[in-house]
Structure 1
Amino acid sequence: MAEGGKLYGWVAGAFRMDDATWARHASPWSVWTRVPIALLLVLAIWSRVWLGWWALLPVALVGVWAWINPRAFPAPRSTDNWASHGVFGERVWLARHRVAIPAHHRTVPHLLTVASGLGVLVLAWGLVELDIAITALGLAVAMGAKLWFVDRMAWLYADMRDATPDYRAWQRPQPPAPEEGDPV
């Protein structure tokens, strides 16, 4: 799915996200185990102090995990949660040139992407200089903006879930809880 603008489409294309992969990525396990990837990458890069060129091994492992992660967990039984809605919103965002999105959702995601990118630049500077304060600041800005972006995507999906049959089909309601006396 290489739609939705060059940068966003390139990222989705690099991860080769087809419908099955998107469904699996909608698992809260996938979303929440992705959150620490940036920190793990920082630690892997910082490890060059101790490991020298061998630091490329943990960097590569983090990269492999980032690619495997959307495929590592089964599709969730229920998508009635913030994480799943954030993933669905990303799909809506990528398709915004085919299916128009409300005006109040058009600008903020771009601003958050810029903020995250600026955080990554500060983070990279901190890693080059081996300055923990600059590195932490860059990581906090990049991750804060990314999580805010996901929150905006959850809101976008909430506003767009009935816009197309495909968007509606992504939703899997919470299965009913067993009633007292029901066999388990």
Structure 2
Amino acid sequence: MSMLKRYAKAVGMSEEAWKRHANPWSVWTRFAAIPLMILAIWSRDWIGWWALVPVGLVVVWLALNPHAFPAVERPESWTAKGIYGERMWLRDRSLVAGDHRKVQRLLVVIGATGFGLLVYGLVMLEVWPTVFGATLITVGQLWRIDRLGQLYLAHHR
């Protein structure tokens, strides 16, 4: 079982949870959690160990998020198609062919680079790597959702 599948199982990503996670509110509020988490971690400079409280709240929200919104039975929005495509991809990686695999690998590199910059910026409390890292993560995720939405459209019956 892959790491992604283990993670999905660990956080209770049942079929119903995937349908709820496909709700655009779920997707966009997860994106909104990025600056909230950055602010929560950065707040250690102002409030010390109390920063663990807002960090914990964001972590709890991210765990609850895929279960918090009404289920999407028929994906019609861009985000819903992307999440349905993600579910298809997790079930059968062979659905992603040729050039799309190259793009998926590029998105992993973009995301990992962004994550590295973000961590560095947060540890050192430097604005530019924090903002640039968060931007790379966001762009990578948006592009990934788009690609997975294309996967959904290509294989939906």
| Structure 1 length-normalised TM | 0.79
Does 2:33 align with 1:51? no
Q: Secondary structure at the match of 1:79?
A: coil
Query: 1:77 deviation in Å?
Result: 6.1
Query: Structure 1, residues 128-155: CA drift from partner, whole Å, max 9, x if none?
Result: 1100111101111111111111111111
Query: 1:78 deviation in Å?
Result: 4.7
Length, aligned pairs only: 157
Map of 1:89 onto structure 2: 85
Distance in structure 2 (CA, Å) of the matches to 1:160 and 1:92: 9
CA contact (8 A) 2:75 2:84 kept: no
Amino acid at match of 1:55: A
Matches within 5 A, 1:73-88: 73-76=69-72, 78-88=74-84
Distance in structure 2 (CA, Å) of the matches to 1:143 and 1:14: 24
Query: 1:100 deviation in Å?
Result: 3.7
Query: Structure 1, residues 69-126: CA drift from partner, whole Å, max 9, x if none?
Result: 01000113652110100101111111124x6443332231222022101101100000
- What percentage of aligned pairs have identical amino acids? 42
Distance in structure 2 (CA, Å) of the matches to 1:111 and 1:132: 25
Amino acid at match of 1:53: W
Matches within 5 A, 1:27-42: 27-42=23-38
Does 2:116 align with 1:125? no
More helix by share: 2
Does 2:137 align with 1:142? yes
Query: 1:52 deviation in Å?
Result: 0.4
Distance in structure 2 (CA, Å) of the matches to 1:114 and 1:50: 33
Amino acid at match of 1:41: M
Map of 1:174 onto structure 2: none
Change in Cα spacing, 1:139 to 1:48, as seen in structure 2 (3 Å) is: same
Deviation >4 Å, runs of 4+: none
Where do 5+ consecutive residues of structure 2 fail to align?
Answer: none
Map of 2:100 onto structure 1: 105
